[in-house]
Amino acid sequence: MEWTEDTISRLKELWAEGLSTAEIGRRLSITKNAVVGKAHRLGLPARPSPIRRGEKKAAPEVAPKATVAATTVPPSADAKTVETAPAASAASAAPESVVAAPVQATPAAAPATPQAAVQPKVAKVEKPAAPRAPVKPKPLPQRISDPEPKKRRGPTCCWPIGDPGTPGFHFCGAVPLPGKPYCAEHAQIAYVKLRDRRDNVA
DNA sequence: CCCTGATTCGC
DNA sequence: GCGAATCAGG
């Protein structure tokens, strides 16, 4: 792996987005190990790791202090789902780019590439958590297509290009696939099967 | 089993 | 420096 300025930059970016290492790896076409390894060497801030290894069982200190410790939970959350971070960040950062991607909200809206849209695991994402919560008169999501034909600024691919916060940063801007927030080119790398990944010890 | 990230260690 | 192998927790 050739860690060029560009790839490193991209790594940092995605890492900061809160994507999982495997997810980043997929994006950069490398393994998660490579991602983690590099991230570590770069001194990137470690993200909430499930484990803690090399445990030195020293003092059986029970509860020294009840330090509140504001657990900073990055917005990684659903990185593993079908959609991936760029959309999220794009939605929040994009000045005028279309609304948030309705991709996962409307599975049927993406018949183009069933490979990604029809992940069985996606089902778990939708979980009616509030059983007794009164049904909210949720405002219906406005569709992508512009209601005003006259000022029809079509949807644009919101794949991030460059480093957010830097002058050159922008979004792809190409015409996205129907029902998708990305153009054909970026959709191809944005949607990856959960299976068939390179990190499961082939 | 699947996932996750961290560390180790041969290269 | 690199990353596969390994470890370890959910």
**pLDDT at residue A52, as a whole number:** 66
DSSP per-residue codes, A33-67: HHHHHHHHHHTPPPP--S---S---------S---
For A90, residues 6+ apart whose C-beta sits below 8 A from its C-beta are A97, A158, A159, A160, A171, A181
CA–C1' A161–B5 (A)? 26
CA–C1' A136–B8 (A)? 52
| Chain C nucleotides reached by a protein CB under 7 Å | 1-10
b/e string for A114-129 if b means 16 or more Cβ within 10 A? eebbebeebeeeeeee
**pLDDT at residue A130, as a whole number:** 40
| Strand C closer than 7 A to residue A201 Cβ | yes
Per DSSP, helices labelled H in A18-169 are 21-28, 32-42, 85-93, 114-117
CA–C1' A120–C4 (A)? 30
| Strand C closer than 7 A to residue A1 Cβ | yes
| Strand C closer than 7 A to residue A148 Cβ | no
Q: Is A119 left (phi over 0), alpha (psi -120 to 50) or beta?
A: beta
Each residue of A33-65: pLDDT tens digit? 999 999 999 999 888 776 666 555 444 544 444
Q: Is A58 left (phi over 0), alpha (psi -120 to 50) or beta?
A: alpha
Q: What is the mean pLDDT of chain A?
A: 60
What are residue A171's DSSP bridge partners? A160
pTM, two decimals, is: 0.47
Q: Is residue A76 a contact partner of residue A145, using CB atoms and an 8 Å limit?
A: no
On the question of pLDDT at A93 being above 90, the answer is: no
| Strand C closer than 7 A to residue A27 Cβ | no
**pLDDT at residue A167, as a whole number:** 66
On the question of pLDDT at A19 being above 50, the answer is: yes
To which residue do tokens 């790594």 refer?
A11
The arithmetic mean of pLDDT across residues A68-82, rounded, is 41
The arithmetic mean of pLDDT across residues A82-100, rounded, is 38
Classify A163 as helix, strand or coil: coil
| Strand C closer than 7 A to residue A30 Cβ | yes
CA–C1' A36–C6 (A)? 14
Going A176 to A84 to A35 to A197, the CA torsion angle's sign is: negative
The arithmetic mean of pLDDT across residues A137-152, rounded, is 50
CA–C1' A69–C6 (A)? 31
On the question of pLDDT at A31 being above 90, the answer is: yes
A176 DSSP assignment: B
The arithmetic mean of pLDDT across residues A156-182, rounded, is 71
**pLDDT at residue A156, as a whole number:** 79
| Strand C closer than 7 A to residue A55 Cβ | yes
**pLDDT at residue A96, as a whole number:** 32
On the question of pLDDT at A148 being above 50, the answer is: yes
Each residue of A111-141: pLDDT tens digit? 333 333 333 333 333 344 344 444 444 454 4
Nucleotide nearest to A55 (CA to C1'): C8
**pLDDT tier at A165, thresholds 50, 70, 90:** low
